[in-house]
């Protein structure tokens, strides 16, 4: 039954997000948030109810067994959150729904800050973020605070920004690293990264670079990086997580998959660059640049699980430039006097949508991991398995 439920629930979720923004993005404050209750609560229920993800069992065990000394030095904000959720009677499934709520609220606040220009960004929010937020549990919902911090930065609300970053750091320290990288990109790159730089670099790291050469990062991290918290365990054991033995050959994509992904990235690079020249928006430019650098670096570190935790948060930001591309097309290019430009944009968007439809069609209709918590309420997790893991 799980696969049928998975198809129905995730089809509904993707369908709502595909069209919701077009009809609701330009609504006023209260009217907007009343309308937003539908996609927000649907996201919370569907993603919070699933029973899969790389970190899922680990965090379920930690939630159900708060005094089990399997893992120590947990970051305090996360533990306090879980203590509060336990105190009000929520089980592990309720906790996952709260995690989903934190992320999606942050995402909606960020997209809301773009006003009418966000109308198509909601369509790409799920395909861009779903795998990250459901696999890397704590870092995933911590990205909701990164989104919130970006809004406070854009509005120059420094006190709120500092408070948000303080909470984020005590939730998952790498979320603050992500924000710092994006902030650095904002100040370093004032214009969209030039296509003569981004495209060759993407192709090089996708098809020519030997990822095993990155094993030197293990020594650098162990000597110079101190993030504190539980994540520091990865740094202390950097030779295991970043060295030659950490390289996952089984994760290497086939040539056809790499070509398809490269076409997708290049089209977003190209169309985003043009869209930002036609209708310049500084609040989109730095997100576009963060995505470009994230997509390039992701291909370099693809076979290293922990390094992906630094690149994926930037790569998944494509929902903002891609949504902006569609907005500029519908408002500026669709009736542009340059017929060739109109055709290029139209064809490029069709190819992008076809790629996303293919990828997420597989996720929805042929997902062997499709499962939900109501089939596992009585599961007993052996802590020895987690220790060995």
Mean local confidence (pLDDT), 29-44: 96
CB-based contacts of 204, cutoff 8 Å, min separation 6: none
Structure confidence at residue 240 as a pLDDT band (50, 70, 90) = very low
Give the chain's count of helices (H) and strands (E): 19, 0
What pLDDT is stored for residue 106 in this prediction?
A: 97
Q: What angle (nearest 5°) sits at the alpha carbon of residue 153, between those of residues 274 and 269? A: 20
Alpha carbon of residue 298 to chain centroid: 13
The whole-number pLDDT of residue 292 equals 98
Residue 146: name the closest of 107, 196, 185 by CA. 107
pLDDT at 249: 55
Is it the case that residue 212 has pLDDT exceeding 80?
no
Split at pLDDT 50, 70, 90, the class of 2 is confident
Burial 308-331 (b: 16+ CB within 10 A, else e): bbbbbbbbbbbbbbbbbbbbbbee
> What's the pLDDT at 241?
46
Q: How far apart are CA 114 and CA 32, in angstroms?
A: 13
Q: pLDDT tens across 245-270, in order?
A: 445 554 567 889 999 999 999 999 99
* 170-181: pLDDT as tens digits: 988 889 999 999
Torsion of CA 287, 292, 295, 297, to 10 degrees: -110
Please give the Cα distance from 116 to 388 (Å, whole number). 50
219: which 2 tokens?
């020594």
pLDDT digits (tens, 9 = 90+) for 101-118: 999 999 999 999 999 999
Q: Which token pair is 295?
A: 């997509």
Closest C-alpha to 357, from 195, 144, 124, 137: 124
Q: At what angle do helices 137-154 and 158-171 cross, to 10 degrees?
A: 170
The mean pLDDT of 237-242, rounded to a whole number, is 46
Q: For residue 216, what pLDDT band results from cuts at 50, 70 and 90?
A: low
**Higher-confidence position of 195 and 387:** 195
Map out the domains of the chain as residue ranges: 2-388
**Closest by alpha carbon to 77, among 226, 230, 225, 234?**
230
Confidence of residue 349 (pLDDT cuts 50, 70, 90): very high
For the whole model, what pTM was predicted? 0.89
Q: How confident is the model at residue 279 (pLDDT cuts 50, 70, 90)?
A: very high
């Amino acid at each position: 039954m799980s696969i049928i439920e998975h198809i129905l629930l995730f089809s509904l979720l993707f369908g709502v997000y595909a069209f919701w923004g077009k009809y609701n993005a330009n609504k006023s404050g209260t009217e907007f948030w009343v309308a937003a209750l539908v996609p927000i609560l649907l996201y919370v229920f569907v993603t919070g109810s699933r029973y899969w993800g790389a970190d899922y069992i680990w965090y379920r065990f930690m939630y159900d067994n708060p005094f089990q000394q399997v893992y120590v030095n947990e970051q305090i904000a996360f533990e306090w959150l879980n203590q509060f959720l336990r105190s009000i009677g929520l089980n592990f499934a309720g906790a996952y729904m709260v995690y989903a709520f934190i992320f999606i609220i942050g995402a909606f606040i960020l997209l809301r800050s773009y006003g009418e220009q966000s109308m198509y960004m909601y369509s790409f929010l799920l395909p861009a973020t779903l795998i990250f937020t459901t696999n890397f549990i704590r870092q995933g919902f911590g990205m909701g605070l990164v989104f919130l911090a970006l809004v406070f930065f854009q509005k120059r609300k420094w006190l709120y920004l500092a408070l948000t970053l303080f909470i984020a750091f005590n939730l998952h320290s790498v979320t603050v690293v992500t924000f710092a990288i994006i902030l650095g990109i904002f100040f370093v790159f004032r214009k969209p990264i030039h296509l003569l730089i981004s495209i060759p670099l993407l192709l090089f790291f996708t098809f020519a670079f030997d990822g095993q050469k990155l094993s030197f990062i293990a020594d650098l991290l162990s000597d110079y990086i101190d993030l504190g918290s539980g994540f520091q365990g990865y740094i202390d054991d950097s030779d295991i997580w970043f060295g030659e033995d950490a390289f996952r050959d089984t994760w290497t994509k086939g040539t056809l998959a790499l070509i398809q992904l490269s076409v997708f990235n290049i089209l977003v690079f190209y169309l985003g660059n043009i869209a930002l020249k036609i209708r310049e928006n500084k609040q989109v430019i730095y997100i576009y640049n963060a995505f470009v650098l994230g997509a390039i670096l992701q291909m370099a570190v693809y076979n290293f699980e922990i390094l992906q935790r630094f690149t994926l948060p930037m790569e998944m930001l494509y929902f903002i430039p891609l949504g902006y591309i569609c907005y500029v097309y519908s408002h500026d290019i669709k009736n542009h006097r340059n017929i060739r430009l109109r055709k290029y944009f139209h064809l490029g968007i069709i190819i992008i949508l076809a790629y996303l439809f293919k990828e997420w069609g597989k996720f929805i209709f042929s997902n062997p991991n499709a499962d939900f918590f109501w089939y596992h309420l009585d599961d007993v997790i052996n802590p020895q398995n987690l220790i060995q893991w």
